[in-house]
Structure formats: C-alpha cells, structure tokens
Amino acid sequence: MKHARVAARYAAALMGAAEESKSVDTVARDLDALRATLALSRELQRLLDSPIVSPAKKQAIFTELFSSRFGTLTMQFIALLVEKGREGVLGSAIEQWFALRDLSLGVVTVDVTSAVEISADQRRELMAVLERATGKTVRVRAATDTAIKAGLIVRIGDTVHDGSMRRQLERLRERLVSGGPGLN
C-alpha cells in the first residue's frame, strides 16, 4: 500500500509537469516504450531492484539506454526516482501516470472476460453499450476463461458485473440449498 501511494505521488508530479510543459503526448510515448522495455528485459528489472548497483551506475545505464529516445522530462523523472532511491516503484508510477492521463481524457478501461473470444462486431457493440452506461470513452481489455461457461464478466474499476453462466448456476444452487423463493 505504501509503495502505491509513493508511485501515485511521483505519477501525479510527472503529470503536472507534463501538462504544464504541454508534453503529455511525448511523455505518454516515452512511458509506453519504457513500460514495454521493462516488461521484456529481466536484466533491466533486476537492475532496478538491485541494492548493490549504485544510483550513479543505474542513472548512467538509463541515460545510455534512453536519453537519445526519450524527452527531457521523462529522463528527469527517471533520474529523480533513482536519486531518491525510488526506482523500485517505476513500473507502478508508469501505470498510475497512465491512469491519471485516462482520467483527464475521460477514458475508462473495462476488463471483459468471456468463455470464448469475442468478435470484432461484439466488441464494438459492447463498447457502445459501455460508453452509454459510463458516459466515457471505453477501452476494452478482453480475456477468455472457459471456466465461466458462457456470458460475460465486466470489471469497470472496482465494480464487477458478473453475468456468467457459472455465477447464475451458483445462485441457483444457493437457492436450492436454502429453499429460497421461487423454487416451490
């Protein structure tokens, strides 16, 4: 929990600086590339986590890898994290930054789980329904899970709408066990 708050503070500071310098799009491109690099490079991840590697060495490596590709603000952000010994929250800070950007743009990410892969037409229809319901632009992250049998599980932030066949069968079982209403 403490790391999430630290990451949120750094992300908010970066967002403020990016908005002030009108470089939100540049920072977004940089952070997206950095996020992808961190996901693909175990070595870079180990470097971030290593207490043995000095901050100066970490900074030199980041400068060598990214200074020709990233903007000044992004490089200053990385340098600040390393200087303060907070490089371990870099991944979380990136995610928090994108959440702040989405919030300012009125974009919400919706996680949809279905038993089978949804088609492009179904995705468009689902997005239209969710955009009307939320009043925001919707980005759908789809996943499949055969355990839900049929239907959908939709997660918007902390709210979960479980319309899966598995959940409906669980409810029916609970009513049967308890002798609930509608079973006479």
What residues of the chain score a pLDDT lower than 70? Answer: 1-2, 180-184
Cβ atoms within 10 Å of 94's Cβ, excluding its own: 21
What distance in Å separates the CA atoms of residue 24 and residue 118, rounded to the nearest whole number? 33
**87 exposure class (CB count in 10 Å sphere: 0-12, 13-18, 19+):** buried
DSSP 101-131: HHHHHTEEEEEEEESSPPPHHHHHHHHHHHH
Predicted model pTM? 0.73
What average pLDDT does the chain have?
Answer: 89
Phi, psi of 173 (to 5 degrees): -60, -45
pLDDT tens readout for residues 90-140: 999 999 999 999 989 988 888 999 888 989 998 999 899 889 988 899 888
pLDDT of residue 11: 95
**CA 88 from centre of chain:** 17
Q: Which residues pair with 161 in a beta bridge?
A: 154
Domains contained in the chain, CATH given: 2-103 (1.10.520.20), 107-178 (no CATH)
pLDDT of residue 180: 61
The residue written with tokens 């971030």 in the block is 48
The residue written with tokens 């002798």 in the block is 179
pLDDT of residue 153: 87
